[in-house]
Amino acid sequence: MDPVQRIGNRLVGARKPAYVIAEIGINHDGSVEVAKQLIGGAVAAGCDAVKFQKRTPERCVPRDQWKVERETPWGRMEYIEYKRRIELGYDDYLEIDRFCEELGVDWFASCWDEESVEFMEQFDPPCYKVASASLTDHALLRAMRQTGRPVILSTGMSTMAEIEAAVAVIGQERLLVAHSTSVYPCEDEDVNLRVLGVLAERFPSCPIGYSGHERGVAPTVAAVALGATFVERHVTLDRGRWGTDHAASLDLEALGILVRQVREVSLALGDGVKRVYERELPYRQKLRRVMSAETPEVCATDREPESACP
């Protein structure tokens, strides 16, 4: 049986429409209004979910980096102050939660520390995401597992041994695994989509997906054709904004193109059962020179896509 996990009201797995996640991450730059623009754009594009990143800066920024001054969109400041500035707080996420509920879209976060998992539990997220950078943080993985929610594990910058160790910590009962390459932006020769099949063989009870950082949309669409059951892409209002995440993101127009192409590929993949379609019958009658005695099983195609071919 094909592996399936439920995220919100959607079943994610083989033979299901690909679950599309728009990663807002920190591309809101600490602004709830920007976050809401990105959420609205993702919903208009047809995404199933939006995702944020949640950190406790004091836990996630190495102490020797706190006082290092860096250029930011708000001028030169200490790195710890910059990281604090771009974090959204409880009231911000409460507004985001209400906005997402109003628009009918799932939302969740990549949590980078245990305190952030505890924080996110207040909002009853449908799942959690392990960022590639956190794959070897087993204490964090255990904190996510203990919530009892599905966990998406991103596997960029990781060896297969590290991935297997992480899967052993989380367990496979509620796990989804995402192939990823942690380069921002990622060149096509580093995408390596054939790893999708390797992960599917190695973890047959887990839905496999793709988290992409390339500039265009073709590799993500190809990932769906190769069996990715969910895909995730960073999204921004402007790829030219300050910060590496913006450069590795899609703008809202490109996101809409991506989702349309993903939906087309998901529909075209079908269910793998060979049959004669109702729309083929006139061509069969007209073009086949020798007719067989067999009466074909016919699949009508004038119904809704999910019920057309049982």
pLDDT in tens, 61-113: 889 999 999 888 888 999 899 899 989 999 999 999 999 999 999 999 999 99
**Residue 152: what pLDDT?**
98
Asked if 14 contacts 92 with a C-beta cutoff of 8 angstroms, the reply is: no
Q: Which of 26-35, 146-155, 187-196, 255-264 has the lowest mean pLDDT?
A: 26-35
Considering just the CA atoms, what is the radius of gyration of the chain in Å?
22
Confidence of residue 283 (pLDDT cuts 50, 70, 90): very high
Do residues 283 and 170 share a domain?
A: no
The H-assigned helical ranges of 71-137 are 79-85, 90-103, 114-120
Query: Percentage of the chain surpassing pLDDT 70?
Result: 96
218 and 302, same domain (yes or no): no
pLDDT at position 53 is 96
Kindly tell me if the per-residue pLDDT of 242 is higher than 80. no
**Banded model confidence at residue 300, pLDDT cuts 50, 70, 90:** low
Whether 235 has a pLDDT exceeding 70, the answer reads yes
Q: What is the pLDDT of residues 179-195, one digit of tens each?
A: 999 999 999 999 999 99
pLDDT at 261: 98
Q: Cα separation of 202 and 166, whole Å? A: 13
In this structure, the answer to whether residues 100 and 116 fall within a common structural domain is: yes
Is the same domain home to 46 and 170? yes
Same-domain status, 224 and 264: yes
For the cut 70, the answer to whether the pLDDT of residue 310 exceeds it is: no
Q: Do residues 86 and 169 share a domain? A: yes
- Same domain for 265 and 281, yes or no, is no
Is there a single domain that holds both residue 181 and residue 299? no
Whether pTM > 0.85 for this model: the answer is yes
Mean pLDDT score of the chain, rounded to an integer?
Answer: 93
62 in the same domain as 195: yes
Listed residue (203, 208, 174) closest to 14, CA to CA: 208
ω into 17 cis (within 30 of 0): no
- Report the number of distinct structural domains present in the chain: 2
Same domain, 109 and 72: yes
Q: Rounded CA gap, 204 and 78, in Å?
A: 46
State residue 103's pLDDT score.
98
CA distances from 42 to 82, 95, 111, 221, 281 (A): 26, 17, 21, 17, 40
Give the pLDDT band of residue 118 (cuts 50, 70, 90). very high
> Whole-angstrom Cα distance, residue 37 to residue 210?
25
pLDDT number for residue 102: 98
For residue range 9-65, list pLDDT tens digits in order: 999 999 999 999 999 998 898 999 999 999 999 999 999 999 999 999 898 988 999
What is the pLDDT confidence band of residue 304, given thresholds at 50, 70 and 90? Answer: very low
Find the CATH number of the domain harbouring 163. Answer: 3.20.20.70
Same domain, 235 and 303: no
Tell whether 142 and 206 lie within a shared domain. Answer: yes
- Domain region containing 294: 276-308
Q: What is the pLDDT of residue 301?
A: 59
